[in-house]
Amino acid sequence: MKEDFVILVDEKDKKIGLKEKVAAHLGEDSLHRAFMFFIFDDRGRLFLQKRSKDKMLWPLYWDTGASHPRVKEDYESAGMRRLKEELGFSCQLENIGKFQYKSRYKNIGSENEICAVLAGRYNGVVNPNPGEIAEWKWIEIKSLKKEITKNPQHYTPWLKIGLKVFLKERKGRFLK
């Protein structure tokens, strides 16, 4: 099954059904599974990408990469699949934790997700999919935090929350 459907869950992340992906993002009542990834290089820099202009929600906002697991995927395998689709590589991912959030994007749609924070390390060639990513760069966490404070409107809501979860739970393992 492609990403045409999202996995609906209760507040404990227990699967309760499926819903067509676009329909799930038009209302605010469809709590569903999602994940984001934090990929670091050996210098401790984080991979950051600007979402494609063609994204329905938060186009041209900075993010680390995010998507939804398919029906038979766990968070880590979904993340590894999505890395390959978006960035042309894959790496081992560690599930750092989860958070629940709800955020509306203009009058277009919203996110209502339980989002897993996945982290990994990669130092090779990045081959971004232009249908998914408008720009990309490596950035130090300290610089990203300053940039988010200065210009929060340029970053996805889940990136701002996920960064706090990552820094609280596991920063030492991936940062220099």
Domains of the chain: 5-174 (3.90.79.10)
Average pLDDT over residues 15-42: 93
**1 has pLDDT over 50:** no
**2 has pLDDT over 80:** no
Residue 5 to residues 14, 28, 99, 103, 160: CA-CA distances in angstroms?
16, 16, 21, 19, 25
pLDDT score of 3: 61
**116 has pLDDT over 90:** yes
**Mean pLDDT across the chain:** 93
Helices (H) and strands (E) in the chain — how many of each? 5, 9
Residues contacting 127, CB < 8 A, separation 6+: 87, 88, 89
CA of residue 166 relative to chain centroid, distance: 12
pTM for the complete prediction?
A: 0.93
Backbone angles phi, psi at 144, to 5 degrees: -65, -45
pLDDT score of 90: 93
